[in-house]
Chain A
Amino acid sequence: MSELEQKLKMATSLAGKGKVSRRDFIQLAMLAGFTAAAGNAMFVKAVRAEPKKGGSARFGLAHGATTDTLDPVGYPDTFTQCAFWGALSNSLTEVDAKGNVVPDLAESYEPSDGAKKWAFKLRKGATFHDGKTVTPDDVVASFRHHMGPDSKSAAKSLLDPIADIKADGPETVIFTLKDGSADFPYLASDYHIPIMPVKDGKSDWQSGVRSGPFVLEKFEPGVSARFKRNPNYFKSNQPYLDEVEFIAITDVAARTNALTTGDVDFIGRADLKTLELLKRNPNVEILELSGYGHYVLPMNTTMAPFDNNDVRLAMKWAIDREEIQKKIFLDHATVGNDNPIAKAVKYAIDPEPKYKYDPDKAKFHLKKAGYETLKVDLSVADAAFAGAVDAGVLIKETAAKCGIDINVVREAEDAYWDNVWLKKAWCAGYWSGRPTCDWAFSIAYAKDAAWNETFWKNPRFNELLVQARAELDDAKRGSMYGEMQQLVHDDGGTILLVFNNFVTANSKKLAHGEVAPNWENDGLKIAERWWLA
Chain B
Amino acid sequence: MHPLLRTVLQRLGLGLITLFVVSLIIFSAIEFLPGDFARAILGQSATPETVEAFQKEIGLDKPPHERYLNWIGGVLQGDFGSSFSSRVGFRRSVMEIIAPRLLNTLFLAGITALVAIPLALGLGLLAALYRNSIFDRAVNAVTLTTISFPEFFVAYILMLFLAVKFPIFHSLSNVSADMPFFEKLQRTALPVLTLTLVIVAHMMRMTRAAIISLLASPYIEMARLKGVSPGQIILRHALPNAWAPIANVIAFNLAYLVVGAVVVEVVFVYPGIGQAMVDAVRSRDIPVVQACALIFAVTYILLNLLADVISIATNPRLLHPR
Contacts and interface: CB of A to CB of B under 8 A. Distances in A.
Contacts of A264: 172
Contacts, number: 129
B34 A260 contact: no
Given A74-B85, A261-B167, A418 B90 contact: no
Nearest to A76: B43
Interface stretch (B65-73, B215-223, B261-269): B261-269
B145 interface: no
B171 A254 contact: yes
Contacts of A260: 164
A516 interface: no
A152 B269 contact: no
Contact of A154 (B34, B43, B163): B43
B68 to A, nearest CB: 22
Interface in B265-305: 266-269, 271, 275-276, 279-280, 282-283, 285, 288
A247 interface: yes
B100 interface: yes
B85 A73 contact: no
Contacts of B164: 257, 260-261
A112 interface: no
B80 interface: no
Given A71-B87, A157-B47, A417-B39, A65 B283 contact: yes
B34 A415 contact: yes
B159 A257 contact: yes
Contact of A253 (B47, B176, B267): B267
B36 interface: yes
B84 A67 contact: yes
Given A261-B170, A263-B170, A150 B163 contact: no
Interface stretch (A221-229, A341-349, A496-504): A221-229
Contacts of A68: 85
How extensive is the interface on chain B, given as a class? 35 or more
Contacts of B42: 152, 154
Interface string A241-259: 0000001111101100110
A264 B163 CA distance: 13
A255 to B, nearest CB: 8
Contact of B34 (A73, A74, A414): A414
A153 interface: yes
A91 interface: no
B46 interface: yes
A249 B275 CA distance: 11
A66 interface: yes
B45 interface: yes
A264 B171 CA distance: 10
Interface in A185-227: 206, 218, 220-224
Interface residues of A, number: 47
Given A154-B43, A154-B46, A67 B279 contact: yes
A258 B44 contact: no
The DSSP consensus for interface residues of chain A is loop
Contacts of B266: 250-251, 254
B218 to A, nearest CB: 55
A417 B284 CA distance: 14
B83 A156 contact: no
Nearest to B283: A67
Contact of A247 (B97, B174, B282): B174
B133 to A, nearest CB: 39
Interface string A49-93: 000000000001000011111010110100000000000000000
B98 to A, nearest CB: 9
Contact of A223 (B85, B163, B271): B271
B50 A261 contact: no
A261 B44 CA distance: 36
A66 B288 contact: yes
A71 B221 CA distance: 73
Given A69-B85, A71-B87, A254-B269, A224 B174 contact: yes
B30 to A, nearest CB: 13
A450 B50 CA distance: 13
B89 to A, nearest CB: 8
20 contacts: A65-B283, A66-B83, A66-B101, A67-B41, A73-B87, A152-B53, A154-B46, A206-B90, A218-B178, A223-B176, A251-B267, A254-B171, A254-B172, A261-B170, A264-B172, A412-B34, A414-B34, A415-B34, A415-B36, A421-B44
Interface of A: 60, 65-69, 71, 73-74, 76, 149-154, 156-157, 206, 218, 220-224, 247-251, 253-254, 257-258, 260-264, 412, 414-415, 417-419, 421, 450
Given A65-B279, A248-B269, 11 more contacts: A67-B84, A71-B90, A74-B85, A150-B53, A157-B47, A223-B176, A249-B269, A254-B171, A254-B269, A261-B172, A418-B40
